[in-house]
Amino acid sequence: MSWAARRKFIYISGIILFLVIVVGGPIAYKIATIPPSCHDGKQDQGETAVDRGGPCLLLDDRYLQPHAVLWARSFQVRDGSYNAVAYIENPNSKAGVPSANFKFSLYDSQNILVAERTGTTYIMPGGITPVFTAGINTGNRIVAHTYFTLTDPSLTWERMSNPTSVVTVASKQVSNTDTIPQLSAIARNSSVADLTNVSFVGVVYDTAGNAINASATILPLLSGSSQSQIGFTWPGPFSVVVGTEDIIPIMPPIPDPSAQQ
């Protein structure tokens, strides 16, 4: 290599080295010092999967207790019209699902599909989430079997809390079962914060523990440290003796504010 060529090579190499140090150095330092996050595409900061678990809002469902559909029933309101309810049990006290698609499938005694109803629900942390849907049209067909399925291929579990954990239901009473049945109760809010649009699902059981009817109602406002009367009615008499009743408050679960979004 001639002296001119060597000098040119040294000159170019010097420029490249300068750019690497002056320009590339700060860039590399900045990249190296970026703190880990729940959106960096890496499994770090105690995460149990990439950007899931640890301090992240999204959870790794492999480390959660399994949820289950406890039961599903439909109840005739009038000829050709049914209400349906299902109970989803979630034993995870700090994990919930903000949105899940579902389907009720109603069949007659010959296992022929009578009607279907789809919708969207949520799954509250640490307890039972009742899913209620009204006015399912079955034509002239009588429903014998009801099935409930969560239709999403997978559910998105998040670190969440149950806003209805501060709500208690007391003084439940069933009356007028042979005419126009009514279920009444008192809902109490033990927190100082107001709750809005609190839904309640009421289920009535016979003496053997079988659900015989269900209904739902909404309280637009349940003020902090207060109580309110709630009630459910049905248009026709119950054909069996009432044994017990269930009233469950439900509201969309709240994301954990301490979790990394």
pLDDT tens track for 62-80: 999 999 999 999 999 988 9
Residue percentage of the chain with pLDDT more than 70: 87
Taking residues 122-132, what's their average pLDDT?
97
Question: Which of the two residues, 186 and 26, has the higher pLDDT score?
Answer: 186
Q: Tokens at residue 111, please?
A: 């296992």
β-pairing verdict for 113-123 and 95-107: antiparallel
Q: Is the pLDDT confidence value at 26 over 90?
A: no
Quick one: average pLDDT of 136-149?
A: 96
Position 168 pLDDT exceeds 70: yes
What predicted TM-score, i.e. pTM, was given to this entire model? 0.86
Query: Tell me: the pLDDT tens digits for 223-234?
Result: 999 999 999 999
CB 214 within 8 Å of CB 242: no
Say if residue 3's pLDDT is above 90: no
Q: Is the pLDDT of residue 142 over 60?
A: yes
Q: Are 167 and 221 in contact (CB under 8 A)?
A: no
Q: What is the pLDDT of residue 8?
A: 55
**Domains (range + CATH), the chain:** 65-159 (2.60.40.3230), 162-256 (2.60.40.3230)
- For residues 230 and 216, what is the distance between their CA atoms, to the nearest angstrom? 10
Strands (E), 46-154: 68-78, 81-90, 95-107, 113-123, 127-137, 145-150
Residue 28 binned pLDDT confidence (cut-offs 50, 70, 90): very low
Confidence of residue 81 (pLDDT cuts 50, 70, 90): very high
**Band of the pLDDT at 260, cuts 50, 70, 90?**
confident
Task: Tell me the backbone φ, ψ of residue 209, rounded to 5 degrees.
Answer: 90, 15
Residue 31, pLDDT score: 44
State yes or no: pLDDT of 202 exceeds 60: yes
Q: What is the pLDDT of residue 20?
A: 47
pLDDT score for 7: 55
Q: What is the mean pLDDT of the chain?
A: 90
User: Amino acid letter at 90?
Assistant: N
pLDDT confidence of 27, banded at 50, 70, 90? Answer: very low
